[in-house]
Amino acid sequence: MAKILAIDTSTDACSVALSYDNSICDRFMMAPSAHTKFILPMIDEILSEADLDYKQLDAIAFGQGPGSFTGIRLAASVAQGLAFSSKLPVIGISTLRALAQEVFVELGLAQVLVAQDARMQEVYWGEYRADSFEIMQAIAPDRLIRPSEANFDHREDFVGIGSGFGVYQEFFAKNMVKFVAKQYVQAKYVVQLAADDFFKGKEKVVVAEKALPVYLREKVAWV
């Protein structure tokens, strides 16, 4: 397994994970509006535990969004800074994909619809299915939609995850049998997806200056 450091600050949670020696270790804590205070100490702690430094890593990964504007911007900035100083490639991972991967790993559910509350009566919407390597892959591009625009055709066997299903429960309950009440992205799933992307050499493995956040909404709210 490649040695990859992953971070996520796209929600109220602050999360760091490290893949090395065929294992993943991670740190996760709720830190509303305090990500800048905790993210770097968490990184230092996890690297120290593994007895690794940045130069021994193969890549840096981050939750690139969608999510909190300030949160995903922070994650991108930290990933860029660490990667640039250590001459490492960067892998941006969709936060919606990371939530879908969590559902598959923890609950064994291979077909997932993700709806994260985007405010303004909209949700960040993603559709995912696990491949033969047990890695979630998008079957449609992540997008920003109104709940009424969600596509449920031929999605009877899918399960939902994300804060949007709670906020707009009355609407979604009419269309889905079940959803999972989880909404905080965990870096241990970001790093799992990043390791697969790194191994396959996908286009998301980029140089530091091209590691950019994904907002989906042109007019973003400063939250």
Domains, the chain, ranges and CATH? 4-95+185-210 (3.30.420.40), 96-180 (3.30.420.40)
Res. 220: pLDDT tops 70: no
- How much is the CA Rg of the chain, to the nearest whole Å? 17
Tokens describing residue 59: 């890549």
Write phi, then psi, for 177 (nearest 5 degrees): -75, -40
Residue 128 structure tokens: 């995912």
Orientation of helix 95-107 relative to helix 187-200, angle to 10°: 100
User: What Cα–Cα distance (Å) separates residue 20 from each residue in 33, 64, 117?
Assistant: 30, 22, 33
Helix (H) or strand (E) holding 138: strand 136-145
Structure tokens at 201: 């050499």
Confidence of residue 223 (pLDDT cuts 50, 70, 90): very low
For residue 55, what are the CA distances in angstroms to 3, 83, 166? 10, 10, 42
Dist CA 33 CA 13 (whole Å): 9
Give pTM, 2 decimals.
0.94
Confidence of residue 211 (pLDDT cuts 50, 70, 90): very high
Reported as a single tens digit per residue, the pLDDT across 35-63 is 999 999 999 999 999 999 999 999 999 99
Q: What is the pLDDT of residues 53-108, one digit of tens each?
A: 999 999 999 999 999 999 999 999 999 999 999 999 999 999 999 999 999 999 99
Average pLDDT, the chain: 93
